Structure 1
Amino acid sequence: MALYPAVSSDHAQGSCEATAHLLSLGHQTVHHIAGPADSDPAMARAGGWRRTLEGAGIRAPEALHGDWSADSGYELGWRLAADPTVTSVFCANDEMAIGAIRAFFEAGRRVPEDVSVVRFDDLNVSAFLPTPLTTVHQDFHRMGEELVRLVVEQIRSTTRLSQPRVIIPPGLVVRGTTAAPSR
């Protein structure tokens, strides 16, 4: 049992939803630009992606680990852009997705016509892009409210919290960066 209140998103569930969405469009596999291998959220997201592919009878391609930055997404996006069989990518966060999309653009690969991209987080950066990004939305406002509620409850209580950890389910928001594969 946790000694202090904690609130987080269900990273694995969100990854499952993103991967299942891409598979439902007809993509044969989903590549993953993952966060750092020493990050718990990144590993949970990669685990959900891998389990969804394996559950569909698909061998997961190697996850490409970045450092959460647009620069790492750009570098890893170039690696994927060089492979014409890549038609869908799940990026572990917004910044890496933006970097990957830039790499695809520079390589002459169109999103979503040639490559579908889903990201995780749903920060407000999408509002500034010409094509709104399909995303796994984390409800940061609700997470903050839950954390404040838990902290206040712990301050007022003379005993440990019965449920000090709350997991908020994320949700897939389909926008303009996913489509059926063109080939």
Structure 2
Amino acid sequence: MDIVKHITTHTERLRADLAQASSEQLQGIRTMTLRFFFLLPDFEGIVRQYINIEINREQLLADIDSDTLEYYQQAIEVSNAQVDVYADDYEELEQLELFVLNAFEYATTGSNPMDAAVNLLLEIIDTLDYYENFSENPEYWNKLLEEEIAFQNELLEQVKANERIPMDSYDQRYRKVPFTSC
């Protein structure tokens, strides 16, 4: 799949449809999508290394659901303030580290829940596209990417119909996917 051809249209649809979502639906999407990123290699280790906090997955998900995110937001602010891209010892992050850190920040942001939900859904697409481009089996990842876009479109239909969205959707969909470093 040539994601570039589809991403603009898909992003517009995400923004339009999620603009109609309730705050509960948006929090649910943030929680549900973050579960995808838990499946990537060393989620907790990356957060520990770059944001300098220990996380408990269940507590993190509960905090997102209850919108008690100050602890995480403060840790991200401190971490971001300590990064000096001009320092001699600055190291570029690996792509998977960026996906994890972006997802963590989107999920714990307090500013605009709709933007967070859109960004998390797009970050999943970007992650699958990365695996397609850098794995030894691009056909496998291409199929997952196509299925993901269809799944997100179904999710939008559920949101518009005000249907309950299963929070374990991403756990179920990607549990057996071999996420490894490329």
| Higher alpha-carbon Rg | 1
| Structure number with higher strand proportion | 1
Q: Common fold, TM-score beyond 0.5?
A: no
Name the structure, 1 or 2, with higher relative contact order (CA <8 Å, separation 6+): 2
TM-score (norm 2): 0.32
